[in-house]
Chains A and B, each alone.
Chain A
Amino acid sequence: MLFDALTLQLGYNAALVALGASALGLAAGVVGAFLYFRKRSLVSDAVSHATLPGLALAFLAMVALGGDGRTLPVLMLGSALSAWIGLLVVSWLTRRTRLREDAAIGAVLSVFFGFGIVLMTVIQSMQSGRQAGLDGFLLGSTAGMLRNDAIVIAIGGVLVLAVVWLLRRPLLLTAFDEGFAEVQGINTHRLDLALMTLVLAVTVVGLKIVGLILIVALLIIPAAAARFWSDNAVRVVLLSGVFGAVSGHVGAALSATAPSLPTGPIIVLVATALFTVSMFFAPGRGVIAGMIRHARMRGRVDGI
């Protein structure tokens, strides 16, 4: 049954979900690698949590206008807007106050998420608007995924990858040496905003499949796992994309084999498994390789 799921033969919906999830994983892995190089992985946590109020407000706005509150593109737009505001607040707090980025991230994450939860509670108590399933965006819910949803996700992923490819040189240069990049004429502040916008795009695209709480895992874990295998930035980026895509595909397939397995969390668990294997068994930077090196070194020192 798992084999059927992996080879997309477990029904139309399962195949859609698996394809969408691997496209999302690929985009998240690639963007996440640049985020990891820039040492800004945690900003993605603030961005993703900051989507919730926008998501809820978009729903409320659609219901107020008399429509179905769950139209995906509109929900994505609302999420993107509020995540963008959250991002600007983090950026502003870090630049204009003495707050460090970690504190700014914590503040934005909790305030936005708290506000979003309040709005969600209001929505749950409403009588109309077909709010059932809206809380699926917290942890991902693929049960009712439509062909159009999958297309939106795929197009979003392709756009994100195209922009990353375009900006690959300045992104790497800035991640390694910000001062040098500035002197080359790269506006590093604007480039950072561009990178965060890509993160935002991945988050919004991933709302349906992984949900806003766990998308951060798909942005961080594949990159962290890939780093164990290579000292070459380009290879780390590619491998991170592959890890992300494999996590998405295998996770979606696994969750399709049983009715109650949630897709998002399973995808994250698959990514975590890849990370664990990488951490222990990667040659060079892996834990076991390091232990062997250390033991050999000790043997040599003792032998003298």
Chain B
Amino acid sequence: MAYEASMTEATLAGSPFVVRGLTVAYDAEAVVQDVDMTVSAGSMTAIIGPNGAGKSTLLKAALGIVRPLAGAARFWDAPLAQSRRRIAYVPQRASVDWDFPTRVIDVVLMGLYQELGLFRRLSARHKQAAMACLERVGMQDFAERQIGQLSGGQQQRVFLARALAQGADLYLLDEPFAGVDAATEAAIIAVLKSLRDEGRTVVAVHHDLSTVAQYFDHVFVINRHRVAEGPVVEAFTQTTLDAAYGGRVRLSD
């Protein structure tokens, strides 16, 4: 395809996130099959595909949360172990227990784990940094709140604030808009776009096809195999959607 022909070795080396030959299987069934993915620096990419297409699994395997059968991900042409400080991961909101005894500010401070390690003391500077991240997602008034008292949208913003606290260059988000209200969705996309404008790279698993073109500049279409990849105008077409969703969705104009 055209976008592959235009991809030079230089863009490959500079890419913050490259996946090659990734295959993941749960039991005997391959959920992700021999997937290649190349994310260009400073882009905002939506990973789209039907349910069970392996979108979340692709991210989890790339990040070592799930062990792949074959293949690997590289970040800035280096393995994950050397790139952790530059990567922020936002898991699905439903993947954690929100009755955990902790406050909003403590969750955001978890984003400083790389910096704090086992021994460094938590200082006023760290707390200020965490507060600034909460402000950026509009949650500064909830800092002392128990996390169990938050709405779904507020929980998602706290997760985003934790990722911001990492000060990463690559943001990988798993369904950041699942089950959140319109106001939160707007707030989150504004933050993500501001990250992109700062030159950082954003990759998000996304479900709502109607907002892809509005929110993102690149797409990665997957249905276990890679279906298409590239700028929205090139890769987000009726043809690629038919290939991924089996002709069940129509692209509205």
Contact = CB atoms under 8 A, between A and B. Distances in A.
Nearest to B98: A176
Interface in B185-238: none
A68 interface: no
Given A176-B97, A177-B91, A180-B91, A231 B65 contact: no
Nearest to B114: A184
B102 A231 contact: yes
Interface stretch (A122-130, A162-170, A201-209): A162-170
A175 interface: yes
A49 interface: no
Contacts of A236: 101
Contacts of B107: 176
Nearest to B117: A169
Given A173-B110, A232-B103, A233-B101, A179 B118 contact: no
Contact of A180 (B64, B81, B89, B100): B89
B63 interface: yes
B96 interface: yes
Main secondary structure of the interface of B (DSSP, over half): mixed
Given A177-B95, A236-B101, A231 B114 contact: no
A37 B100 contact: yes
Given A176-B110, A179-B60, A233 B84 contact: no
Contacts of A37: 100-101
A185 B118 contact: no
Contacts, number: 67
A232 B84 contact: no
Contacts of B81: 185
Contacts of A292: none
A189 B102 CA distance: 23
Contact of A179 (B91, B116, B117, B148): B91
Nearest to B62: A183
Chain B's interface size range is: 20 to 34
A222 B148 CA distance: 22
B65, B91, B101, B116: which has the most chain A beta carbons within 10 Å?
B101
Interface in B119-147: 146
Contacts of A230: 101
Nearest to A184: B113
Contacts of A178: 95
Interface of A: 37, 39, 166-167, 169-170, 172-173, 175-180, 182-185, 227, 230-233, 235-236
10 contacts: A37-B101, A39-B97, A176-B102, A177-B96, A179-B63, A180-B89, A182-B63, A183-B63, A184-B113, A230-B101
